[in-house]
Structure 1
């Protein structure tokens, strides 16, 4: 039986799985014994206890009377917020840097190369501290705020922008517009006659004009920040901790995305560009219609890694006090409850779930962009 390759392989796999289960059981048993000897109870009952501490930023209603379960939700939403915004900004900036890296303009290409070499070789934590303590901390007070028009203000307390409140009928209008756009997109994939397609686009514009006019007049209310006393009221306040973290994550990750984009573009055969030039296409059209779609097949896999790194690197927010999941839940909540195993396990599960969801989404997008052969 030992000479049978299949049976021998099966036997070794069973032994390995059994050893892993024994090791896991021993770790769990040892942990429970150590917690019991120190008088620490286990379980998730602490989530229903009153938190008793404040959080400087919350996307949901929160005060000291809420439970530790609510602090978990607050930290989770803050982490998702900075990760989502960071991915968008890093992608836009990274694509610009990657394309500029290959520009025929000598100065632009050298500046893009210097950006990549500088920011990707400085530790992310130092960049976060730099933006927070060396840049944002020296901004003026609210009374001497830097103004962009009469609606956007920057000062030591953060970035203040207008808040848009959409009425119920405004939401209905936006939903209708979204359905029309989706419907037109489906028609676009089905239609081959360009004349019919142009007629459909024109019809969509005519149907959308009343909604757009109504939205621009009565569909929403724009609340601008106003200086009252020593601070601004109204609008949306982006804390300096959020701004510093977002800047550092975006700039740092964009340096790596820029190199990914550059390598993806260079992987496309130069014959494709020459053929497009022979057809008389402009350089912008060649880049957007010929080069980038083919380069995306090479760009997407390493781009996924950069998205995962950005989401996980957001945990460095605790260095400047931004109330993300690590700071609020794995920090303050853990110190107050002492439930180290449960708190750390929940925090690890969140980051694992975030990473898996990003991977699934990017894999689906990669499968859609992949070249299908007959």
Structure 2
């Protein structure tokens, strides 16, 4: 019905009765308040630093460090700069994080499956392990592996021999080390070619399986490529590296690689601790899969191993991956506890020694926090990408 021409108009709403206008106003006020608070804190910090004669900035990174580091994956001596110390601490943190994530994942999956085993003894042993190690603080476990296991080891002259060229003592694990030769880069290129070939084979096998239902032995083909191509390159260009063997000379070993006891203790503690949580994630993921899937696989005659590997685990991963990401992040952040036993990680080296020597607390802490934030975000992005790849796609 058309309104009369002389009908009164509805009164126009005021600013305070418009929800969108109020929302914009409050957001602008909040942003201004946060910026004002940040500016005040910045000015106050600058004033306090000037009063104490502390120069701000990152010029200190070019100064000579003047101290030694027990483990460094790149060349280092006392004349190198604090910037190089930062890189060494970052590499050491990444090293223990990657090793810990790798072994914790394997151990956690084994324990998670064992927790559901029909064998009573295996099931109870897995339960005792999980309930024990996940309820002990990680720092105490680090202390246990370091002070109760590694330090009581015999000295170099009485080392525990593991085979012919592995020696374990209170100074670490000594092992053969590869030394690059002229054929090294040709070998690296061959490995890159192998990786590309394996990816191509995997895609071809997937397309064939979807088209015909036939499975192609991707694993065997990948192993063959990994052996044949680098082997032929080594025959043509020569061996990619030679081995430097550890030899006892005087009171210590010379040559080879040494894995310091701090790294061994830290890796063991983080692996054992995180694996207990991963095992629970795996157990819950497997139990989230309908039991009808197992019955259907058995009705097709699939053995238990193939049922678990081809039917249950692929579906359980959609439940396991999100909490697994959190455990990877926790392991990476728990690696900062390495300062308790003197492992030269990011916190111990940069946020510890460098901060004490330079007094640049704000810059050092800001860099350290930014690095851990970047590592955590990178892990989250990688795991979220993988989670999307295995997620069910609705039609």
Instruction: Indicate the TM-score class for this superposition, using the shorter chain for normalisation.
Output: over 0.9
For 2:194, the equivalent position in structure 1 comes to: 177
Q: Deviations over 1:183-239 (max 9, x none)?
A: 212322333457795699769948953643664983432333222221122221100
Among candidates 137, 156, 161, match of residue 147 of structure 1: 161
Q: Deviations over 1:303-340 (max 9, x none)?
A: 00010011111001000000001111111111110000
Instruction: Give the Å deviation of 1:89.
Output: 0.8
Identify if the C-alpha distance between structure 1 residues 271 and 27 changes in structure 2 by more than 3 Å, giving closer, same or farther: same
Runs of 4+ deviating beyond 6 Å: 198-204
Instruction: Give the Å deviation of 1:121.
Output: 0.7
- Separation in structure 1 between the aligned mates of residue 96 and residue 68 of structure 2, nearest angstrom: 20
- Runs of at least 5 residues in structure 1 that lack an aligned partner in the other structure: none
Identify if the C-alpha distance between structure 1 residues 329 and 366 changes in structure 2 by more than 3 Å, giving closer, same or farther: same
For 1:237, the equivalent position in structure 2 comes to: 258
Alpha-carbon RMSD across the aligned residues, in angstroms, is 2.2
- Runs of at least 5 residues in structure 2 that lack an aligned partner in the other structure: 1-14
For 2:321, the equivalent position in structure 1 comes to: 300
Which of the two has higher C-alpha Rg? 2
Query: Please, what TM-score do these two structures have when normalized by structure 1?
Result: 0.95
Among candidates 101, 116, 122, match of residue 87 of structure 1: 101
Q: Indicate the SS of the match to 1:218.
A: coil
Identify if the C-alpha distance between structure 1 residues 132 and 206 changes in structure 2 by more than 3 Å, giving closer, same or farther: closer
For 1:326, the equivalent position in structure 2 comes to: 347
Instruction: Give the Å deviation of 1:35.
Output: 0.7
For 1:161, the equivalent position in structure 2 comes to: 175
State yes or no: 1:212 paired with 2:226.
Answer: no
Superposed, 1:1-374 pairs within 5 Å as 1-166=15-180, 167-191=184-208, 192-193=211-212, 197=216, 205=224, 209=228, 211-212=230-231, 215=234, 218-374=239-395
Q: Which is worse superposed, 200-209 or 360-369?
A: 200-209
- Separation in structure 1 between the aligned mates of residue 242 and residue 204 of structure 2, nearest angstrom: 34
Q: Which is worse superposed, 266-275 or 207-216?
A: 207-216
Residues 91 and 257 in structure 1, CA contact (< 8 A), matched pair in contact too: yes
Query: Please, what TM-score do these two structures have when normalized by structure 2?
Result: 0.90
Residues 184 and 200 in structure 1, CA contact (< 8 A), matched pair in contact too: no
Tell me the matched-pair count. Answer: 374
Residues 202 and 218 in structure 2, CA contact (< 8 A), matched pair in contact too: no
Identify if the C-alpha distance between structure 1 residues 372 and 195 changes in structure 2 by more than 3 Å, giving closer, same or farther: closer
